[in-house]
Amino acid sequence: MKKEEKFKLIIKEDSFYVNKEGSESVIGIIYFDADGYSFPDPSWDDFVVVLLSWLINRIIELIFDKNKEVEMDFMDGPFKVSIKLDDKNQCTMNFIEGEKLDDEEEIIHKTIKVPFDSVKNEVINSCKKVLQIKDPKKMSFNDDYKNLEKSYNLLLKIS
């Protein structure tokens, strides 16, 4: 019997800072743990609130269209995650480097199969964690925060 693979979304709040060079977006360490494989990297920093919004919107897309394959790109670098549901509500997740549209080879670094509910719950919990740090004294969020909160509330409503 094959062991169940694990999926985690790692967000390190103590790494957050506001990008003062224009966007005012929150940047911090965010990456996926795909059954022990870190993607893109355990020290990867990126636009946390934006990426969470994109990811939660991809989850919502899958709820409404279970036959769809969705992708979530990272803001920096040629990295993305594709998610496809099967008829047993299992997600096949591919962790990919490269972009065919840019004539690059796409390299699948890791593929895992996990229950959709575990992916959805991991994303919900990560969003909740980020939304709870919304304190003007600690961190200033811009429209990214409002978009995340809106998507988060929609996902909770339809789940």
What average pLDDT does range 108-136 have in this prediction? 90
Q: Is 122 exposed, middle or buried (0-12, 13-18, 19+ CB in 10 A)?
A: buried
Cα 78 to Cα 151: distance, rounded to the nearest angstrom = 25
Model-level pTM?
0.90
Q: For 23-72, how does the pLDDT look when each residue is reduced to its tens digit (9 = 90+)?
A: 778 899 999 999 999 999 999 999 999 999 999 999 999 999 988 999 99
- Predicted local distance difference test score (pLDDT) of residue 21: 78
Domain residue extents for the chain: 7-158
What are the pLDDT digits (tens) for 66-111? 889 999 999 988 999 999 999 899 999 999 999 877 677 999 999 9
**Cβ atoms within 10 Å of 64's Cβ, excluding its own:** 8
Task: Decide which of 30 and 135 is more confident.
Answer: 30
What's phi and psi for 74, nearest 5 deg?
-85, 155
pLDDT reported for residue 135: 56
Provide mean pLDDT across the span 132-145: 66
Dump the DSSP string for 8-75: EEEEEEEEEEE-TTTT--EEEEEEEEETTEEES-TT-EEEHHHHHHHHHHHHHHHHH-TT-EEEEE-S
